[in-house]
Amino acid sequence: MKTIYKSLIAVGAFLIVVGCNDELTKDPIGLLTLDQVDTNPTINTLESSVNSSYQLLSSTLNIVGEWQWDDGTVTRNDFILHDIASGDMNKKWNPDGDQAWMDEISAYSFTADNGAFNGIWLYDYEGINRINLAVSYLTNPEIIQSVGISEARKNQLLGESYFLRAFYYFDLVNNFGGVPLLTEPLTSFAQAYEAAVRVPETEVWEQINADLVAAKALLPNAKYPSPAEPWRVSKGAVIALQAKAALYNKDWGSVISFVNELEALGFYSLNANYFDNFDVDKEFSDNEVIFAYDHISNQNPRKGNGLNALIGWGFVAPTESFINEFEPNDPRLLYTVDVPNQNVSKLLGNTVGDDKGNDDAPSNKIFIRYADVLLWKAEALNETGDYSGAIAVINDIRNRARTTPTADGSVTPPGTLAARPNSTDPVQIKNWLMHERRVELGFESQRFNDLKRWGIAQAFLTGLGKNFQDKNYLYPIPQGEVDKSAGTITQNPGY
């Protein structure tokens, strides 16, 4: 019976629900299933079950599969679905026919068979599958008693798990709308088929918010719950994601309340130097990064940043529209992309091209940082009529950029990034905000969701000559998922 149960977890939940393609040639790196759990689980079992749940946030190459480019699984593809799709990023510096499926995302000529959708669906649901297994261990009194884990550590691991599940579902609901909602390990093929049904978006948001409430109650009041492991989810990360969830649901009062709560912790501030957020030598020692995936070189299994390899192969380049968005002499442009040398400094983690082409690089992937959070607050303040408060936040961001030492050692001319003047025009202030978010957060996979939630994606992208249509406010459910579910997972309209 135990062997059957293990097989159902590993095969039923993984293949049927999250839809790993038949072409994949190896098990996901770091996957912890009941095959690795004997009748006497240990503290290491619990730790590993949670740690493995982080892996699907990484840019490590071939976490699932082996060079399956067309399936969208070589690396996590946020940069395709959010940066390329937004008109900020080109696939390559020199256009060619390599990986044409990426070009389809850029041009909005894709179908539901495009591998980009399969890839992100697989990564998010594999993360959820691992988390649900971890939660089942951490909420089992018999296991907790038998392994002897402390109450504080158990609570911390469980809080991390709830956050991660909320994070993966946040990504899914914004990409696809309503999706299958899984909150426990599946123990039979019948249960797997039963679970393969989309629920309304509102139910997904309810689950996200419930998981975040649970996570916040369990995590300690510390910037780093485990100082020796600063990469772990913190209470600050939970509050920040609560604010972001409120933002995406236009709950402006809650956005302000959550950001105020985050500020009251006293853990975060704007770095004096903009690039300290991305400098590989300052990871987890800066003041601004709230949640990031910790890439580390020379690990087994690998934990390095494989996106740097793609950058070395000529992938990841700025569009002319993105470059033109920057005001004259804005130091953030060169810190984001060094056009003459074709370096994407913000993603490489340095300004000299080190680790370009390195498929196991140490540069972290940043998901939430304080400047982003402050701009959420500015948006909410503008929407609720506190125009001076919104402008003050925008000017704080501009001032930090203006006073940041330049990447090339040049002197920033007087008048660069002048403070925005007083205004009581919410449309003007929102335009300032939209500009500031684009240049401050460029290439951080925020832009496409911004365009969608502002309701301007179609106007902006068609203005760039792209074939964006109303249906594209949601991506299609991967066609393979619809087919394997025999239609119980329905397709989004228009696809």
DSSP state, residue 289: E
Token couple for 92? 């390559």
Q: In whole numbers, what is the pLDDT of the chain averaged over residues?
A: 92
Residue 203 neighbours by CB under 8 Å, 6+ apart = 178, 181
Residue-level pLDDT at 10 = 34
Domains 1-219+459-495 and 221-454 share a fold: yes
**CATH for 1-219+459-495, among 1.10.3720.10, 1.10.300.10, 1.25.40.390, 3.50.50.60?**
1.25.40.390
- Percentage of the chain surpassing pLDDT 90? 88
Residue-level pLDDT at 13 = 37
Burial class (CB in 10 A: 0-12, 13-18, 19+), 153: middle
Q: Where are the domains of the chain?
A: 1-219+459-495, 221-454
Q: Tell me which residues of the chain have a pLDDT lower than 50.
A: 1-26, 30-38
What is the Cα–Cα distance from 57 to 164, expressed in whole angstroms?
9
Residue-level pLDDT at 272 = 98
DSSP state, residue 291: E
- DSSP assignment of 343-378, as one string? B-HHHHTSSS-TTTT-TTB---EEEEEHHHHHHHHH
- Inter-residue long-range contacts of 426-435, CB under 8 Å, 24+ positions, other chains counted: 426/382, 426/383, 426/385, 426/387, 429/382, 429/387, 429/390, 429/391, 429/394, 430/379, 430/382, 432/391, 432/394, 433/375, 433/378, 433/379, 433/382, 433/390, 433/394, 435/325
The CB density around residue 341, as the number of other CB atoms within 10 Å, is 11
Helices 235-248 and 201-218 sit at what angle, rounded to 10 degrees?
Answer: 160
Token couple for 338? 């060094």
Residue-level pLDDT at 384 = 98
Among 357, 348, 333, CA closest to 439: 333
Q: What is the pLDDT of residues 247-285, one digit of tens each?
A: 999 999 999 999 999 999 999 999 999 999 999 999 999
Residue-level pLDDT at 65 = 84
DSSP state, residue 206: H
**CATH for 221-454, among 3.10.20.740, 1.25.40.390, 3.40.50.300, 1.20.58.220?**
1.25.40.390
- DSSP assignment of 35-88, as one string? GG--SS--HHHHHHHHHHHHGGGS--TTSSSSS-GGGT-SS--HIIIIIITTTS
How many residues are listed for the chain in this entry?
495
Q: What is the pLDDT of residues 425-464, one digit of tens each?
A: 999 999 999 999 999 999 999 999 999 999 999 999 999 9
- 336: helix, strand or coil: helix
R_g of the chain computed on alpha carbons: 22
Among 429, 442, 303, CA closest to 361: 303
Token couple for 280? 């590989």
